[in-house]
Structure 1
Amino acid sequence: MRRWPVIVVAAAALGALSGAAAYQHIVPRQGEQKGSWQEIAWSFPRDGWPAGRAFRCRGASCGDGIEVYVRPKIGFCNCDRGVADDDEVDRVADVDLISEHFTPIQAGDVISVADMPGRSRAYDLKMTGGTRHAAIGIAVSRRCDLLVAVAHGKGNAVRVRREALALLGETEMTRWMMAAMEGR
């Protein structure tokens, strides 16, 4: 008989704790969210590199939607110079996985992602069916390893770049990128 009060108190405490945890992870109402990133499946066929992580953004700041694909390429970088020029970004940033028909819009920019130096470059993509997307190729390095990302969407290249870099700058993404670069 003495166990029942203990069981009731324990059940109430567990219920309260799980309710509090659920409340913290609730999705904001549509009007409250600027951009909402959701992890999606890596949609590309296997190649010489491991699959990475993929995300889709829907919301006010993302317009018609932006997708970002990120993965490490361990041992695939010039150990002395890192990502040295736009030609290297064209070669390594996985833009060709989205469309084989890509054209650089302009010269790239020097950037830093998670304290790794590199470059980004904007592209015009001709998608299947003839539609056009803007894309951003990103390649950063640490020692002899690369981290590459490609983002694309129907919006302009400036918006795609801003949103992709904001995602890559989030604390959780920075932690994952550093762990991935260390092979964990």
Structure 2
Amino acid sequence: MRRTAAIAVAAISLGSALAASLLWLYVPRHAAATSATPVWQEVTWPFPIDPWGKGKSFRCKAADCGVEVTLYLRAKIGLCNCATGVADDDDLDRMGDTVLLGEVSPLGSGHPIRIAWMNGRSRAYTLHSRGAPGKTLVSVVYNERCDMIAATAVIGHDRPETIEPRVIEFLGSSTAMHWAEVTLGL
């Protein structure tokens, strides 16, 4: 009987320890500066309509991304070079939507990116416009055949390289990909 009681106490202790460790692993930590998965909420498109039309806007709050980030997405049907896509920084600069935000200057060379099955380029810029909503931005342009998507992330600090992976991750998410598929007619 004592042996059975000892086994039961050991099993209950082990089960409690296991439950506590699993709870510790899966409960969010409010003390962390950023969450593992940023929360992007759709916000109103703030720009006037131009030949490319209205796009989609999303915001990631500082509590989720470490700094407030606003992302603007637009499809540009038939604008991309069907054979080469977004081949270099000149293509990226020409096809991107940095013009929506004012005067910018590149912080360096761009680099290739991949979002789902689509290829493109990404490049960081300093934002010079007075009254601009951020200090830097990341322009990401990627294409599906002759159609492309221009994504512009406005960032409230001068370290865009820290935010770019979160932007790329969101662009490959089901939310952004569903919009891209519907908009591009895929």
Q: Which amino acid aligns with 1:89?
A: L
| Count of residues in Structure 1 that have an aligned counterpart in Structure 2 | 155
Does residue 83 in structure 1 map to residue 89 in structure 2?
Answer: no
Does residue 173 in structure 1 map to residue 176 in structure 2?
Answer: yes
Deviates more, 1:170-179 or 1:117-126: 170-179
Contact 1:110/1:120 (8 A) holds in 2: yes
Return the alpha-carbon distance in structure 1 between the equivalents of residues 53 and 67 of structure 2. 29
> 1:96 aligns to what?
99
> 1:154 aligns to what?
156
Match of 1:138 among 119, 122, 140: 140
* Aligned structure 1 segments of 4 or more residues deviating by more than 3 angstroms: 129-132
Shift of 1:120: 0.7
Shift of 1:71: 1.2
What's the secondary structure of 2:83's corresponding residue? coil
> 1:58 aligns to what?
61
> 2:51 aligns to what?
48
Gaps of 5+ in 2: 1-27
Cα 1:130–1:98 shift into 2, 3 Å: closer
Q: Which amino acid aligns with 2:151?
A: A
Q: Which amino acid aligns with 2:106?
A: P
The superposition leaves residues 80-137 of structure 1 with CA deviations (integer Å, 9 ceiling, x where unpaired) of: 11111101111121011012x1001111110111311111111111132488611111
TM-score by structure 1 length? 0.76
Contact 1:82/1:143 (8 A) holds in 2: yes
Sequence identity, in percent? Answer: 35
Match of 1:125 among 124, 127, 143: 127
Contact 2:57/2:71 (8 A) holds in 1: yes
Contact 1:114/1:178 (8 A) holds in 2: no
What's the secondary structure of 1:91's corresponding residue? helix
TM-score by structure 2 length? 0.75
Gaps of 5+ in 1: 1-28
Return the alpha-carbon distance in structure 1 between the equivalents of residues 92 and 55 of structure 2. 18
Return the alpha-carbon distance in structure 2 between the equivalents of residues 36 and 130 of structure 1. 23
Aligned-residue RMSD, C-alpha: 2.3
Cα 1:125–1:165 shift into 2, 3 Å: same
